[in-house]
Structure 1
């Protein structure tokens, strides 16, 4: 019995097929090989075409099927993970109305701040656990204010994974986890927030049917099944945002457990059993994949928008003829501290952990007679690790004190230098696992379809590849210098 997982990323789509009995990944495919485009119509804006995602999902599934390592007819359930906070709009005939305003788009910051003031800071934080900020709710309000003709045609609002599920099954559903991710959910009243509905003038009819994350979100339509070589009617048994799903893929489900990822964005995601929130909304709290009325399992999320995106930008400008492995090897040749070169890695939209400031990337202390591309590659990794440390300290302020962090050996964590720098910067050991979002989505489908009796059964074969311990305190003065540069830049940006 096989499980198919789809991970709808910003850069590409990844699909994996997992054997339910052994939990082994039989085949994976990523499409496209180059990074998917992001449309930037104005500075700070970011959009992608949901139809592009759908075309890429189909291609990735077909490439997996062509591997010959399994029979596609043996796939019993599908799980979907997706880039969080994106807004997708369809009409009553399920026609797409506009491109998706994705997670790193900053156009709605002021709309969210006005709602935060109007509803009241204490009411927002205690009920929504977040400021409306730059989340899906405020992006929908932006469309309502600026594209009224489009808004008038909206029948349902969705997140990116909901759109892929709709294209597969013809059905549209959501979950408490998804509603909280968009900042539509009232945790105190356990319902869609009436404060949000009233403030923005939304109709509750815009929201899809609410179901558990682990449940049947629709069966594959016959026409789609035939095209993809799958059985008609197999269930989409799991849907979750990429960071809750990354935590699931690392078996991070219980209070106190913490996951990290360093892909296009960088995230620390810790599980709590308390309705916790940051007074400045620098870290954000959402319903985790296993949240229920009886079990208040919450994910506390710290996001850095520009981690892998900065490394990709660096590659394009300074290492276009290199692969990432060669860049990592070059970075390791530069000394600790990169001979004074410091980089602030904040050039991919407004940063929530910086109070929604849009400060950009900054290079400090460049010496034209000293610094080489190796120094730049290392300084980027050290700057990203420093940003993680800054965020971890915010999480510590809010009572989250991880003793170990679990991460998949992927993206920036493929770099031994970055992994060790991350550990030295934060002072927290990291366990690395051979897992990723598409595999996690596949295992989530097995849980949702009842193939596994519990999450514990789904991850019984999972073991860490390595444990990385802090091995020096020499990074601390580098971090403190980096932090002083950040605080100086923030004072300039806010003045």
Structure 2
């Protein structure tokens, strides 16, 4: 039996999966690492923690499975997007990595907008948001100029790990699209954007396809991981692009809804000239010459976790959700907006905060729980509606992540989205997408689409209930009013947040 390994470099842990040619996960392993918040709004990690965690996870994967290292054809990666790693000419890290959820760069975002104007959307196809990489580089330029002066290349998290494993500098298009330095349509670094901020284009690594081989394992890495120096290493992709691969989003109109800490609606696109004016993200896919439209709810699953820990800490998630089906659609006139961490789509607003609207003395814990699920799903529908407005017909949506684990929530998604929701037989998310890139790169399949047919199998379909759809359509219209009615109030309240 031969295998490939998918490595998913997340924010809190690295996950490795060993996958056979039928797409079956034979073994998996995770290694956690710390997150540092040295100042308010800062979020950093030590890139060496990623490397150590990856090597430990790979070794334990091989040891636990008992697989002979010669049976592993290749490795590929999925990684947290946007994080900035600066290295010198010898590959030494110059400062801690600044992560995607670091929000210190508001001033730099305004500078980018003022400097580039409409060219930013025309070239990079995305708005300047604090999470992206270019604002982080400009923050270093302004606050730590001596660090940037030493920088030879900037890398994203998974690219740094792959560099340490192979000695090769590279970045794939799907991750490069989230830097604001890529000409997304032309698939090349934008000299115009780089030069506008006094950055040499040489700071950007060479661009490769996600399935492209970028080397083999260095001898010391092979020894530490329990693999062979001949093991092929493939570039990999951004976590959302790999999540899309792992859900089979490889054709026009195919759409995915992923609910984890954040929530993502992602739809496949082939028109490189599509310009949605930054209403949603527009990134390169891990499939060659394909793209995806993506909307993000910052606090999707996080809203449910916050609610449980704050109001029902003694209950498990299963116990908390048990009463949801006894409450009718609309939660007895209770609306929740999941803006507890600010919002991304369609409102890129760091000041907005969440609301429960319509509380009365008849509402129980189950009413509040259902309203949280409905509010998260309404927020994701806003992204779906933007995709539909671009001309796409969305009748089926693949559900992955925590939101795919509860049947009541899956049915709620079908009713709120007005589309059939497909639950997969085995859902490994970005790790499976990374494994698919390694399988395709290793020559197991003629295309990523063929790989998806072999690896991904639907388990269940939840169809929308016409009566519930009508109720939710009315409630969604009310939900959309809440942002505009509370925005000014939240701006004023921001001064009181400590």
Change over 3 Å in CA distance of 1:110–1:277 after alignment to 2: farther
1:23-422 equivalences in 2 (<5 Å):
23-32=23-32, 37-68=34-65, 70-121=67-118, 123-134=119-130, 135-187=132-184, 189-274=186-271, 275-279=273-277, 281-292=278-289, 297-348=290-341, 351-367=344-360, 369-408=361-400, 410-422=401-413
Preserved CA contact (<8 Å) 1:432 1:465: yes
Cα offset for 1:349?
Answer: 5.0
Per-residue CA distance 1:133-166 (angstroms, 9 max, x = gap) = 3321112111111222222222211111112212
Scaled by the length of structure 2, what TM-score is found? Answer: 0.90
Any idea what SS the aligned residue of 1:346 has? coil
Change over 3 Å in CA distance of 1:402–1:16 after alignment to 2: same
In the alignment, structure 1 segments of 5+ residues that lack a partner are none
Cα offset for 1:372?
Answer: 4.1
Preserved CA contact (<8 Å) 1:215 1:237: yes
Any idea what SS the aligned residue of 2:457 has? coil
Preserved CA contact (<8 Å) 2:353 2:490: no
In the alignment, structure 2 segments of 5+ residues that lack a partner are 493-498
Any idea what SS the aligned residue of 1:181 has? coil
Cα offset for 1:233?
Answer: 3.1
Any idea what SS the aligned residue of 2:435 has? helix
Looking at structure 2, the residues matched to 29 and 327 of structure 1 have their Cα atoms a distance apart, in angstroms, of 28
Change over 3 Å in CA distance of 1:99–1:421 after alignment to 2: farther
Looking at structure 2, the residues matched to 62 and 330 of structure 1 have their Cα atoms a distance apart, in angstroms, of 43
Change over 3 Å in CA distance of 1:424–1:446 after alignment to 2: same
Preserved CA contact (<8 Å) 2:208 2:235: no
Cα offset for 1:330?
Answer: 4.1
Cα offset for 1:341?
Answer: 3.1
Any idea what SS the aligned residue of 2:142 has? helix
Cα offset for 1:331?
Answer: 3.6
Per-residue CA distance 1:331-386 (angstroms, 9 max, x = gap) = 4444433333322212335525203443133333444x444443333222111101
Looking at structure 2, the residues matched to 65 and 190 of structure 1 have their Cα atoms a distance apart, in angstroms, of 37
Match of 1:463 in 2: 457
Any idea what SS the aligned residue of 1:218 has? strand
Match of 2:495 in 1: none
Preserved CA contact (<8 Å) 2:191 2:201: no
Number of equivalent positions = 483
Scaled by the length of structure 1, what TM-score is found? Answer: 0.90
Cα offset for 1:190?
Answer: 4.4
Per-residue CA distance 1:419-451 (angstroms, 9 max, x = gap) = 111221111212121222212211111112223
Preserved CA contact (<8 Å) 1:244 1:289: yes
* The 10-residue stretch of structure 1 (74-83 or 205-214) with the greater mean CA deviation from structure 2: 205-214
Per-residue CA distance 1:387-439 (angstroms, 9 max, x = gap) = 0112212222333332211233x312111122111221111212121222212
Any idea what SS the aligned residue of 2:398 has? strand
Preserved CA contact (<8 Å) 1:173 1:208: yes
Any idea what SS the aligned residue of 2:237 has? strand
Preserved CA contact (<8 Å) 2:243 2:432: no
Looking at structure 1, the residues matched to 342 and 348 of structure 2 have their Cα atoms a distance apart, in angstroms, of 12
Looking at structure 2, the residues matched to 326 and 95 of structure 1 have their Cα atoms a distance apart, in angstroms, of 48
Change over 3 Å in CA distance of 1:291–1:459 after alignment to 2: closer
Cα offset for 1:220?
Answer: 1.3
Any idea what SS the aligned residue of 2:100 has? coil
Match of 1:448 in 2: 441
Segments of 4+ moved more than 6 angstroms:
none
Cα offset for 1:314?
Answer: 2.6
- Taking only aligned residues, the RMSD between alpha carbons, in angstroms, comes to 2.3
Change over 3 Å in CA distance of 1:72–1:347 after alignment to 2: farther
Change over 3 Å in CA distance of 1:389–1:205 after alignment to 2: same
